[in-house]
Each structure stands twice: as C-alpha cells, then as structure tokens.
Amino acid sequence: MSTVLDGINGPDDVKRLNKGELSELCSELREVLIGRVTDNGGHLASNLGAVELAVALHRVFDSPKDKIIWDVGHQSYIHKLLTGRKQQFSSLRTFGGISGFPDPDESQYDSFSTGHASTSISAGLGMAIARDLAGDDYNIISVIGDGGLTGGMSFEALNHAGHLSKNLIVVLTDNGMSISPTVLLHWGQTGSVFASGIEDDGSFLACFGFFNCVRPVVLYCRRGSSSRCSRNCRWSKRCPQC
C-alpha cells in the first residue's frame, strides 16, 4: 500500500499536501526514523523532536534557493528524507552511505556542513552579507537547538546580526536537552519565556528577541510611541542602554 512519504521526492511535493496528509506524513517519517536508527544507530530523540519543524520549513520556504542551516547538524535526518534522499536513507551513517550530518557535497539542499555546534547563526549571517553584496533575494534560516545555543559563538553571532540588521531568520528549537538535560541558568529562563505567554519577561534570551514562540520576534526597542528608542537600538524594551 502506498504511503504519503512514497510521493515525497522533494520539498515541492510537501507543499502540495493538505492538512490531513501532512499529519500522516509526520507519522510515517517518525516510523522510518525509528526503524533506521534502530538498525544503524544515530541520533533519535533530537530528530523525533524536529519532524514537524522540518516539514514546516520545507512547506513554507523555497529550498534550496532559501538556505536552511541545521545546528546541531544531527537534527537533519528528516530534512534528508524530504530532500530526495529517502532511497539512500538505509545507508545512513554507514561506509559510503549518506552522512548523519548536513553535507553540501551530498545534496544542494544542505547549505552548510554543521556538526557540533553553535555555528549556524554566524554561518547564516555570513551568507546574508554575501547575499546582499550580490544583490540577491532569498531567505536564510538558522535552526539552532539540541544544545546548539549553549555555545558562546551563537551569542556573539546574535549580537553581530542585531548590529548589522540583516535579513536573517533564527529558529530556536528547545527540547531542554543537549547530550543530557541542559543545566545552564539561561536555559531555565528560556522556558519561562515560552511558557508564560507574555512577550518579554526580562529573561536572558528576551534580550536577543526570543519571546513567546507564537508571536512575531521583536528585535527593536519599543519604548515610547516610536518603533525605535532614542539610541536607535535593536534590542528589546529592556535593553541595557534604555
């Protein structure tokens, strides 16, 4: 019996699915994922937590024109299944098979070779700068999670991106895990941002514009009636200068 996944040979096929088919596709992807990781080894939980996200990204954006960067890179198994590699998926993490991480030499849909970790935002910002210098028009999406936001490079990149004001989309996928449960102070504060239902509770990540996940990200100071503060900063209303 044919499945929804049988008809998925690339992101364009995902865009044609209705709501019910999307739900069925996610169930089928999980089944394939569990079976393959059981046989070959690999990263299971991180990919189970990114199924709907990968489907949504390929439904909304126009990959490979739009660049999707996965960080930590081992979250990319579902992305590989949706981008023309389902027939090779049985060779995942085997000699001569497909990689367990994004690999631009393997597919045009893999924009950057990411492993462990915290590099997606700086890489995305570099791509955004190059895109603008070339006068091109496409989206760049840095997907960071599974411990990827625990590295200092990611915060340096967020600060740099905010300073340059480039068109760069950063998606934080927080499953509360890195290799084991995350224990850093700011990670506990992150959960309060998403669980509280308020836009800015003054927590650590709110300063970088990460607020409630169902609302638009706000990266500018909203003090007073103007969209920018007197210092023309791009922080939240709790920015240190305001």
pLDDT tens series, the chain, 242 aa: 679 999 999 999 999 999 999 999 999 999 999 999 998 988 888 888 889 999 999 999 999 999 999 998 888 999 999 999 999 999 999 999 999 889 999 999 999 988 778 999 999 999 999 999 999 999 999 998 877 877 889 889 988 988 888 999 998 887 665 556 666 545 454 544 444 444 444 555 555 555 443 333 333 333 333 333 444 444 344 444 44
DSSP 8-state class, residue 140 = E
- What pLDDT score does 63 carry? 95
Tell which residue, 126, 116, 103, 127, has the closest CA to residue 71: 116
- What pLDDT score does 196 carry? 45
105 contacts 97 by C-beta, under 8 angstroms: no
- What pLDDT score does 72 carry? 86
Strands laid side by side in the 140-145 sheet: 67-71, 140-145, 169-173
Amino acid at 153: M
**What is the C-alpha separation between 229 and 235, in angstroms, rounded?**
9
Class for the domain spanning 5-183: alpha beta
- Write down the pTM of the prediction: 0.77
- What pLDDT score does 242 carry? 40
**What is the C-alpha separation between 106 and 64, in angstroms, rounded?**
13
- What pLDDT score does 181 carry? 64
- What pLDDT score does 61 carry? 96
- What pLDDT score does 219 carry? 34
- Print the SS3 string covering 6-37: HHCCCHHHHHCCCHHHHHHHHHHHHHHHHHHH
Q: Which two tokens stand for residue 99?
A: 């990689």
Torsion of CA 74, 78, 82, 84, to 10 degrees: 50
- What pLDDT score does 173 carry? 80
Q: Which two tokens stand for residue 137?
A: 């028009």
